[in-house]
Amino acid sequence: MNKIIAYCGLRCDECGANIATQNDDDNMRKDTAEKWANEYKHDFKIEDINCDGCFSENGRVFEYCTICEIRKCGREKGVTNCAYCEEYICEKLDVFFQMVPACKKTLEEIRKGLNK
C-alpha cells in the first residue's frame, strides 16, 4: 500500500481500520476494535472498523473522521494535507499534536521538503 498521510499527519496506510477495510479482514477489524476500545475507553464494535482513508469522497471513513475539524478544514482549503496550508500550525493542529506528537513530526518532514 502506498503511503497515505491524512490532513493531520496520521498515516492512513498504517491505520488498523484502513488496513482491515482494504483487506476485508473481519479478524483484523475485531482486533482493532478491541485495541482501540482499551486504548481510547470507547465501545468500538467490529462494524465501526471500516475506513477507506481520510481522503475518501464517497467511501467509508471512520466514525470520528466524519466530524473531524482538521479533515473538514483541509477539504475546504483543498490542500494535500496540513503541511501544505498557509496557516500551518493552526490551533486545531496544535491541540491535536499534544495528543499525537508523531503527526507533527510527519507534517514537519513534509514541510521541509516543500522549502527546497
Range of the domain at 63: 12-114
Look at residue 57 in the predicted model and tell me its pLDDT: 81
Report in angstroms the alpha-carbon separations of 2 from 14, 19, 110.
Answer: 10, 12, 16
Number of domains comprising the chain: 1
Q: pTM for this one?
A: 0.84
- Domain contains 3: no
- CB 65, CB 51: distance < 8 Å: yes
| Percent of the chain predicted with pLDDT > 90 | 69
Phi, psi (degrees; rounded to nearest 5) at 4:
-125, 110
The helix/strand/coil state of 6 is: coil
The amino acid present at 81, given as its one-letter code, is N
- Domain contains 4: no
